[in-house]
Amino acid sequence: MSDKHESMVVWTPSEETLETSRMERFRTWLEEQGLGPFADYHALHQWSVDELETFWQKVWDYCGLVCDTPAERVLGSREMPGAEWFPGMKLNFAANLLRLAEGDHADREAVVAYCETRPVLRRSYGQLKADVGAFEAFLRSQGVAQGDRVAGIVTNGYEAIVAMLATTSMGAIWSSASPDFGVGAINDRFGQIEPTALVAVNGYGYGGKVFPRQEAFRDLVAQLPSLKCVVSIGQLPDDGPILGDRVTTWEDALAAGKGQAPSFTPLPPDHPVYILYSSGTTGKPKCIVHGSAGLVVNHAKELMLHGDVGSDDRFLYFTTCGWMMWNWQVSALITGAAVVTVDGSPGYPDLNMLWETVARERVTHFGTSARFIAGCRKAELKPARDLDQSHLRVVFSTGSPLLPEDYDWVYNDGSPEVLLGSIAGGTDICGCFVGATPLLPVRRGEIQCRFLGVDAVAYGDDGKPVSEGRGELVCRQPLPSMPVRFWNDPDGERYRDAYFATFPGVWAHGDFIEFTEHGGAIIYGRSDATLNPGGVRIGTAEIYRQVETIAEVADSLVVGRQIDGDVEVVLLVVPAEGQTLSDDLVQQLRRRIREGASPRHVPKHIIAVDDIPYTRSGKKVELAVARLINGSAKEDNRDALANPQALDHIREQCRAAGLLDGGA
């Protein structure tokens, strides 16, 4: 269990919050229909998992979601994997996100877009809907059809939102990556899904510098033979568009379809809307396919009920388009709120930038990473003293566990009146298992609760719930936003292996978690080898693909070192025969990883070793090295290693480099 100090209450909902929050209104609404009574949030949660079908139907109704044909029932099959949600329904994802773009609300701000390279852009719901219709018409004119993939190499701004909504309005499938990814990393993703159209920026700004990408993306286009058209966004206004045939500028594409309305094509509930990607730890990233009905109803629950986001609110989540938080952020349009996007460095011109934007735009809901909050703490920022926070009600944090000290900073110097909502889930469900609720206090170092409709518990190795302490985070009943499938996985074997191989019929998420006596949760990190520097999940295979193309490197292994609530990437290198790990080679490695993968993949430490440990079946043993570097007392099965002496040498080299204490 967490200690008494960490469980200290640091925020309590006001009487007004308890009476007026959407979660409380939902609870009261249910009781008025003869359901309940619900003594508290935990009773409401228990009902939501005991009466799963009734709960999700009530969420759909209460949140005002729309469909063209109602479902025959909420759940057909309950089997996992393969649960069948809302059979018989016909709906459109984009229609739900734009359901309030009518009447008086059409003139309300929908998107406010900040970036380092262009002036602030403001668009109303009416303008957004018009641009969505125009861009859909352009895509259709280029031969894009229902079920086709539209890929975006885009920044977190207005064009990405328009392109996604136009794509999903017509029944095509949206998939995005961040432009700071290398061409190889992008092709590892988009090459698998064979997109028909590509929407890409001509470059981007970060930290006061500009990074033109026209030539790199021209090369990428040549590697994607399925493309029928390319749309170039002028993110760098002084630079030209992406070079090549079949390229149209963003402005010309909108002009070509001007005046056309979105089709909002009715589609089955499991029709794909997004393809997201796993981190690529053991090879090319898995292509995770998310369906329309499950995603829209789960996001409505998470944002409207747990997040308390409504039509008068202003929502800013600092993210990139290569992270599922972008998809989560855009779903705030369901609520009628204004979505404030920020692209660029969170530390440029200084760490106050995001807090200043929150104050200037009267943001009510601000989302960021645990690393950013830790950075503000270490820099001794005091936005509570220096800036107007009167509108801010909720601060979301995700990407990695939030340290108890970061709770202290938020409630002392950050924004003392807010609900600090540490939320956790992932790309796999494009949502959350645990997180925030306005009906419970916030405890230092603790996530508040299991989310409604989420039957999450901690399992021991025996496949039974642990009575106390840490275990594997599992979900025992279906959740609507579980993937409908993986791309190019016709028999579903890769999907089953990813989540259901450990405990058949039960979703195993890969996090180590503890549920506390308060009903809260503490996450201790991933139970696999995925890296999380700065709260951004990256895969070791993406680094290997860069490192092991360098002739001077014979072999390598990469792990994460946990320090100060963050993760440092540690790269172990076996130099090729006759080579040494010189300063020049270190710089070459850093440069190759930065250019071929992304700046986030660049290791903090690069260390020369004699050998890399392998299993007898020829697999690199990342977890054993990760445990060694992180000082775990857990003994690895050395008999399973083909060369266990490699671990001993790695221990010596890491200690010499200062990564281990004397007793490790």
> Cβ distance 22 to 310 under 8 Å?
yes
- What rounded mean pLDDT belongs to the chain? 91
In a domain, 326, yes or no: no
Residue appearing with tokens 């005091």: 382
Instruction: State residue 208's pLDDT score.
Output: 96
The CATH code of the domain that includes 548 is: 3.30.300.30
72 contacts 146 by C-beta, under 8 angstroms: no
pLDDT tens for 177-226 read: 999 888 888 998 999 999 999 999 999 999 999 999 999 999 999 999 99
- Whether the Cβ atoms of residue 512 and residue 524 lie closer than 8 Å to each other: yes
In this structure, of 221-225, 304-308, 450-454, 614-618, the range with the lowest mean pLDDT score is: 614-618
* Residue 3: predicted pLDDT: 44
CA 388 to chain centre: 29
Percent residues over pLDDT 70 in the chain: 93
pLDDT for res 635: 53
User: Looking at the predicted structure, is the pLDDT value of residue 443 above 80?
Assistant: yes
- Whether 2 has a pLDDT exceeding 60, the answer reads no
- Domains identified in the chain, total number: 2
147 domain-assigned: yes
At 15, the pLDDT band (50, 70, 90 cuts) reads: very high
CA-closest candidate to residue 101, choices 169, 160, 151:
169
Q: Which residue, of 187, 222, 256, is where some domain finishes?
A: 256
How deeply is 491 buried, as exposed, middle or buried, from its count of CB atoms within 10 A (0-12, 13-18, 19+)?
exposed
The domain boundary, picked from 225, 256, 287, lies at 256
Give the full edge-to-edge strand order of the sheet including 314-317: 121-124, 109-115, 338-343, 314-317, 365-369, 394-398, 419-422
pLDDT at position 570: 94
133-137, 276-280, 451-455, 608-612: least confident range: 276-280
Q: Kind of pairing, strands 197-201 and 229-233?
A: parallel
In a domain, 231, yes or no: yes
pLDDT digits (tens, 9 = 90+) for 18-73: 999 999 999 999 999 999 899 999 999 999 999 999 999 999 999 999 999 999 99
Supply the pLDDT for residue 663: 37
Q: Is residue 560 part of a domain?
A: yes
Asked, as a colleague might, if the bond just before 349 is cis with ω within 30 of 0, I would say: yes
Question: Which CATH number characterizes residue 231's domain?
Answer: 3.40.50.980
For residue 349, pLDDT over 50 is answered with yes
Give the range of the structural domain holding residue 581, as residue numbers without chain letter.
Answer: 533-656
Residue 579 lies in a domain: yes
The residues with which 608 forms a beta bridge, in sequence order, are: 573
Please determine, for residue 124, whether its predicted confidence score (pLDDT) is greater than 70: yes
Taking only the tens place, the pLDDT of each residue in 635-657 is: 554 644 668 889 999 999 999 99
Instruction: Answer whether residue 535 shows pLDDT above 70.
Output: no
Return the CA Rg of the chain: 24
How confident is residue 402, by pLDDT bands cut at 50, 70 and 90? Answer: confident
Q: Let me know if residue 168 belongs to a domain.
A: yes
Domain boundary among 241, 256, 271: 256
Question: Is position 617 within any domain?
Answer: yes
Does position 365 have pLDDT exceeding 80, yes or no? Answer: yes
Q: What is the pLDDT of residue 182?
A: 83
pLDDT: is 352 or 371 the higher one? 352
Q: Within a domain: residue 109?
A: no
Cα–Cα distances in Å, from 395 out to 120, 164, 564?
23, 26, 21
pLDDT at 529: 54
The yes-or-no verdict on residue 664 having pLDDT over 90 is no
Q: Which residue shows structure tokens 């993306």?
A: 217
pLDDT score of 587 more than 50: yes
**pLDDT for residue 258 is more than 90:** yes
pLDDT of residue 283: 53
CA angle 320, 422, 42 (to 5 degrees): 135
